[in-house]
Amino acid sequence: MLLNAQASGVYTIAATPFHPDGRLDVESIDRMTDFYLQCGVTGMTILGIMGEALKLEPEESLTVVNRVVKRAGKVPVVVGVSAPGFAAMRALSRASMDAGAAGVMIAPVPSLRTDDQIVTYFAQAVEAVGDDIPWVLQDYPLTLSVVMTPKVIRQIVQNHASCVMLKHEDWPGLEKISAVRGFQKDGSMRPISILCGNGGLFLDFEMERGADGAMTGYAFPDMLVDVVNLQKTGKRDEAHDLFDAHLPLVRYEQQQGVGLATRKYVLQKRGAIASDAQRKPGNALTPAAKAEVDYLLSRLARHDPRAQL
């Protein structure tokens, strides 16, 4: 059950649950996985930037992979394997696939600058992990400071049959989706799946530009699922109504640094994880911030009963 270019829907970026003392909370992994499945996600992505992956020992990473894959059953699991060196990328990729993952996700290293450097980097990455592993190309310039033009994305896709999905989180990015889909229409690029990140901040219009869904970690994946489905069934106004009701919180959660703390705080409130603790070094919400999130939830609950916590 490997990831392929027809993937669509919502792949939630999963948090990694910890106990307040910093130990990995293995029980919460199951609970959280169940929560995501009940939200209707079509896939899960683990060990991403928001998954505190860098704080995990290699064995812990494999524990997370194994536990999530097993619990998720038929729901495909993508593993973030970005690393400063190809040795670590290769090791985690092979181990993840052996454990039953559906594919891996690879981001460029921040030092890349020219078009050729970017294209070459992904060629080296594919050589390192092996061309039999389906992978997601992560395009996230805001954090990674690497800018890929649509033409560079096309070249990578054409170079590597194993690249089956674009995780789109350029910013701004709506025209980029149109450009990439335009390449498919004019026959210069084979079709791929496009799932959008950036906390979902533009999901309403991203779907209208041709995205297949979302890959992000907003604490209401069920809203993302609904918006994707409403858009796919042509219920545009309804999609925007629901999206707009969530937008104040989506925006709050999308702040770098504070975002993960907000996300875990809401996930805990929703019962998905036992504690909102981050492993050190991490950020905790201040009392003022918690009160702001609570206020946003209470306002949201007027439109979406799932926010009554």
Position 130 contacts its own copies (CB under 8 A): no
Quick one: which segment of 53-61, 158-166, 182-190, 214-222 binds its own copies (CB under 8 A)? 53-61
Binding of residue 53 to its own copies (CB under 8 A): yes
If phi > 0 it is left, if psi is from -120 to 50 it is alpha, else beta; for residue 241 that is: alpha
Return d(Cα 44, Cα 38) in angstroms, integer: 12
Has 215 been labeled as part of a binding site? yes
Whether cis (ω within 30° of 0) applies to the bond prior to 281 is yes
Tell me which of 116, 132, 161, 309 binds its own copies, using CB under 8 A: 116
C-beta of residue 149 within 8 angstroms of C-beta of residue 182: no
Q: Name the residue nearer to its own copies (CB basis): 19 or 151.
A: 151
Q: Which stretch binds its own copies (CB under 8 A): 29-37, 48-56, 158-166, 213-221?
A: 48-56
CA 261 to chain centre: 16
The set of residues, in sequence order, having a beta carbon less than 8 Å from that of 8 and lying 6+ positions away, is 42, 193, 195, 212, 213, 228
Shortest distance, position 192 Cβ to its own copies, whole Å = 20
62 in contact with its own copies (CB under 8 A): no
Out of 117, 159, 162, 275, the residue judged to bind its own copies by CB under 8 A: 117
The nearest distance, CB 149 to its own copies, in angstroms, is 5
**At 281, which amino acid appears?**
P
Interaction between residue 175 and its own copies (CB under 8 A): yes
Q: Which of residues 292, 301, 304, 306 is near its own copies by CB under 8 A?
A: 292
Q: Does 132 bind its own copies (CB under 8 A)?
A: no
**Segment 234 to 263, residues that bind its own copies, using CB under 8 A:** 240, 244, 247-248, 251, 255-259
Closest separation in Å from C-beta 29 to its own copies:
17
| Binders in 1-40 for its own copies, by CB under 8 A | none
Binding residues for its own copies, total number by CB under 8 A: 57
Contact between 202 and its own copies per CB under 8 A: yes
- Distance (Å, rounded) from C-alpha 27 to C-alpha 274? 9
Bridging pattern class, strands 43-46 and 77-80 = parallel
Degrees (nearest 5) of the Cα angle 154, 159, 161? 100
Measured between its terminal Cα atoms, the distance across the chain in Å is: 36
Shortest reach from residue 131's CB to its own copies, in Å = 15
Which of helix, strand or coil describes residue 39?
A: coil
Q: Which two tokens stand for residue 97?
A: 């696939």
Helical spans, DSSP H, in 130-280: 141-144, 150-159, 174-185, 203-209, 221-232, 236-253, 258-269
Q: Site residues for its own copies, window 64-93 (CB under 8 A)? A: 83-88, 91
Q: d(Cα 213, Cα 197) in Å, to the nearest integer? A: 9
| Interacting residues toward its own copies by CB under 8 A | 53-58, 60, 83-88, 91, 110, 113-117, 120, 124, 127, 146-149, 151-152, 171-172, 174-175, 178, 201-202, 204-205, 208-209, 240, 244, 247-248, 251, 255-259, 280-281, 286, 288-289, 292, 299
Annotated binding residues for pyruvate: 215
